[in-house]
Amino acid sequence: MKQRIWELDVFRGICIIGVVFVHLMYDLADLYHIIDWEYPAWFAFIKDWGGILFVLLSGACATLGRRSVRRGLVVLGCGLVITAVTYGMTFFGFHKSVIIYFGVLHCLGCCMILWWVFKRFPTWLLAVLGIFMAVAGLYLDQQHIYVTTHYLMPLGLPWEGFATSDYFPLLPHLGWFLLGAVLGRTVYRKKQTLLPMVNPKNFLVRIFSFLGRQSLWIYLLHQPIISGICMLLMEK
């Protein structure tokens, strides 16, 4: 991508702030039990649809750049590191539900790798597949279908008793990713900003753009920082 489209970075920056907020409240209320807080409806909205928006943005960005497989392998590798760390937490008294088997980084990494195949498809077919996968995934989530094997968990078919603190199965999220790619091919077909009248050097724009560009590092580092703060609060 010769020139970054600033509003995509801004939207991604807003999303990563939402992710940090959701994880902060989860740690305070559920993981460390520092506060007693019932999740309101708006929090559930941010948690569910904020993640979908993040995947949509990733799909759009995949059409604007190159080396999706290499980036996907890096993101997937980071996801596997998180799996190892959260698994290790169970040896220090945390419940096994803290383990992240297939979270947002696993999902995005796989989507980026699979884009190497899907990018050869015409845009109309991507739209059809995206809608089908999204609807199929939402249906599976509503039906609460469980299987005996562990190997179908990434597709949205977990085993009975499955529990995790972050779950982004390929169904429906690969569908959202493909729909994001459709937006990238259509709305951003010229690979330039849709808001040329806005000054990208504006202070707030620059802050959110920076956060969006560093979203992977923020995602990797924010949980250890939040956990450290929570442990300090518990000692007091």
What pLDDT digit, counting tens, does each position of 71-94 carry?
999 999 999 999 999 999 999 888
Q: Cβ distance 177 to 55 under 8 Å?
A: yes
Q: What is the pLDDT of residue 236?
A: 62
**Alpha-helical regions (H) of 119-214:** 123-143, 170-186, 203-213
Q: How many percent of the chain have pLDDT more than 70?
A: 98
Where b means 16+ CB within 10 Å and e means fewer, 125-158 reads ebbebbeebbeebeebeeeeeeeeeeeebbbbbb
Q: What is the pLDDT of residue 1?
A: 41
**Total Cβ atoms within 10 A of residue 115:** 22
Region 146-164: mean pLDDT is: 94
Q: Which of 30-44, 102-116, 137-151 has the lowest mean pLDDT?
A: 30-44
- Most trustworthy range by pLDDT among 26-30, 36-40, 132-136: 132-136
The SS3 call for residue 189 is coil
Region 225-231: mean pLDDT is: 88
Average pLDDT of the chain is 93
Which residue, among 1, 2, 3, 7, has the nearest Cα to 206 in the 3D structure?
A: 7
Asked if the model's pLDDT at residue 162 lies above 90, the reply is yes
Q: Which residue has the higher pLDDT, 162 or 30?
A: 162
User: Which tens digit of pLDDT belongs to each residue from 33-65?
Assistant: 888 888 888 888 888 888 999 999 999 999 998
- Amino acid identity of residue 206, one-letter, is R
Q: At 185, is the pLDDT very low, low, confident or very high (cuts 50, 70, 90)?
A: very high
Region 181-186: mean pLDDT is: 97
Four-residue CA torsion sign, 26, 28, 31, 37: negative
Asked if the model's pLDDT at residue 120 lies above 80, the reply is yes
Structure tokens given for 71 = 């980036």
Q: What is the pLDDT of residue 2?
A: 54
Q: Which of 39-43, 76-80, 144-148, 191-195 has the lowest mean pLDDT?
A: 39-43
Model pTM score = 0.93
Q: Is 140 left (phi over 0), alpha (psi -120 to 50) or beta?
A: alpha
Q: Which residue has the higher pLDDT, 13 or 49?
A: 13
